[in-house]
Amino acid sequence: MTGFSLVERLRLLPDPRRRRGMRHPFVAVLLIAPFAVVADRVGLTRALAAALPRGAGPGWRDRGVALVPLACAIALGATNVLGAEQLQYQWRALFPKPVSDSTLRRALEAIDAPVAARVERVRAVIRRVVWTWPALRPGGFAWISVCGRELSGWYVPGLDATVVTCTSRKEGAAGTFKGTWRHHPPGAWVANTRECAAMQLRPGNAAANDAADHKTVLAAALRQLPLPLWPKLLVRINGAAFSHDILDHLQALTTSRRRVRRAPAGRSTPWTNRPSPGCRNRCGRTLCGRTAGPRDQRTRR
């Protein structure tokens, strides 16, 4: 069992459920349960309740308690509010008091621009608390390794746009050249912790190389990261958004207290854990065969 990740260890456990009516993998359920417990322990539920509008009445449900089960249901595969309600009823041991779909809709409708800004600040505060835990483990914080060299102190946010297929009745949905209706939100993912730091909702026909949208997402991601006083950032950007405007913006972010570097994100990522047949340094990284190229030297600077 040495070297196995938590997911690989959980996959070895037998599934005690019956085959009939089983919808979600046993590993996913085991991983979601600690997340719901940790959200209460770190104060995320209470902080969301303070940031969201409050009401009065005997049947009022705490909005923070409503959003945490909604996030867990989405992680389990729920694609709409009704599916999130049904998942809560299926896992009553995890959600003793399920929240109805109408309550979830009202909670989401109450999130306007000022409330969203307060929720963003709450997420940043809770993330600062949670990020102190990996630093206390024996291995320290999850720094990225490239070709056997650990980039200690470097935080690696990656920008990319994803496509979410939906029906034409969804708000903000737009037709694409493939004949489908979709949303096209750009997001920022942190490679150190493999979490989504920020995302912006856009219609499906939005341009993939919109520099203004990527600047907005990058700014929102930097506000979420609990960076030290003199941070070092390695920003990965998909090739569609790797424009001169973005490069100038990244260069402007470099100050006397902050170092920002850029790298194009392609199919081969320098921090993959899978061995590469063409690896010259035998370090198991797929970028070894192309780090010495003139293009990589130009982009890495």
The CA distance from 117 to 112, in Å, is 9
β-partners of residue 232 are: 154, 259
- DSSP secondary-structure letter at 234? E
Q: Say if CB 74 and CB 83 are below 8 A apart.
A: no
pLDDT band, residue 269 (cuts 50/70/90):
very low
- DSSP secondary-structure letter at 203? B
Residue 18: its pLDDT value, please? 64
Q: pTM for the whole thing?
A: 0.72
Mean pLDDT score of the chain, rounded to an integer? 76
Residue 118: its pLDDT value, please? 92
Q: How many CB atoms lie within 10 A of CB 290?
A: 13
Closest by Cα among 256, 253, 244, 219 to 299: 244
Residue 171: its pLDDT value, please? 82
Supply 66's token pair.
């409503």
pLDDT digits (tens, 9 = 90+) for 194-232: 888 999 988 888 888 888 888 899 999 999 988 887 788
The CA distance from 74 to 79, in Å, is 7
Residue with more model confidence, 14 or 266 = 14
The CA distance from 146 to 97, in Å, is 46
The CA distance from 24 to 19, in Å, is 11
Supply 27's token pair.
């590993």
Supply 78's token pair.
């729920």
Strands 164-165 and 259-265: unpaired
The CA distance from 184 to 217, in Å, is 13
pLDDT band, residue 121 (cuts 50/70/90):
very high
Residue 290: its pLDDT value, please? 35
pLDDT digits (tens, 9 = 90+) for 35-89: 777 888 888 888 888 888 887 767 778 888 888 888 888 877 777 888 888 878 8
Residue 278: its pLDDT value, please? 44
Report CA-CA distances (Å) from 125 to 119, 121, 151, 195, 251.
Answer: 10, 6, 25, 15, 28
With 50 as the cut, is the pLDDT of residue 150 above it? yes
